[in-house]
């Protein structure tokens, strides 16, 4: 049974999700996405960035910060991160289900205020509109592979099964 779990962990596609710290030099940030770190395609999502500087020099008001969202190597949104709340954020509506890269880059307006940085996360948008019929092919492939795997495990278990012999009563 433990081998089954190990195999399933390797077969499951993995994408880093929110609430992971990304660092570049002295600047680090945690990304949080509402709703519930599970954005829905076609619905507005809010991306919050909790920024920290180990040297204590970073001030968002002194940063030309930019958020770039991309999918399949294509930029789908580019917007500034402005000092408009206690926790800086941007709103975005992911157009379709898929894997998106969220990039936060920044450099100081005045040289020496802090070190420039480039932070990247990947997030998966699973629910909502799919990008194309090619996603259906991927789903069918994983479904077929899963069915074959279950059939093999079932066959091995069945071939090892030995019926119990009835006990004789004396």
Length of the chain in residues, anyone?
170
Residues 138, 116: one domain? Answer: no
* Within-domain flag for 168: no
Residues 105, 148: one domain? Answer: no
**What average pLDDT does the structure give for the chain?**
80
pLDDT in tens, 21-65: 899 999 999 999 988 888 999 999 999 999 999 998 888 889 999
Domain enclosing residue 52, as ranges: 14-125
- Cα separation of 122 and 38, whole Å? 12
Measuring CA to CA, which residue among 100, 98, 94 is closest to residue 42?
A: 94
Residues 51, 100: one domain? Answer: yes
* Within-domain flag for 8: no
Residue 117 has pLDDT above 90, yes or no: yes
Q: How many structural domains is the chain composed of?
A: 2
For residue 163, the model assigns a pLDDT of 66
* 8 A C-beta contact, residue 93 and residue 42: yes
* 8 A C-beta contact, residue 28 and residue 22: yes
* Within-domain flag for 170: no
* Within-domain flag for 20: yes
Residues 115, 33: one domain? Answer: yes
pTM of the predicted model, to two decimals? 0.63
């Amino acid at each position: 049974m433990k081998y089954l779990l190990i195999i399933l962990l390797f077969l499951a596609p993995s994408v880093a999700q929110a609430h992971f710290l990304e660092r570049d030099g002295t600047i680090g940030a945690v990304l949080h996405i509402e709703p519930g770190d599970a954005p829905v395609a076609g619905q507005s999502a809010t991306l919050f960035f909790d920024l920290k500087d180990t040297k204590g020099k970073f001030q968002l008001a002194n940063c030309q910060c930019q958020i770039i969202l991309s999918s399949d190597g294509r930029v789908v949104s580019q917007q500034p991160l402005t000092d408009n709340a206690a926790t800086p954020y941007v709103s975005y509506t992911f157009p379709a289900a898929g894997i998106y890269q969220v990039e936060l880059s920044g450099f100081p307006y005045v040289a020496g205020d802090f070190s420039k940085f480039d932070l990247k996360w990947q997030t998966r948008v699973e629910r909502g509109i799919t990008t194309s019929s090619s996603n259906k092919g991927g789903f069918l492939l994983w479904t077929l592979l899963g069915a074959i795997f279950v059939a093999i495990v079932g066959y091995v278990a069945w071939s090892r099964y030995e019926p119990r012999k009835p006990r004789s009563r004396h």
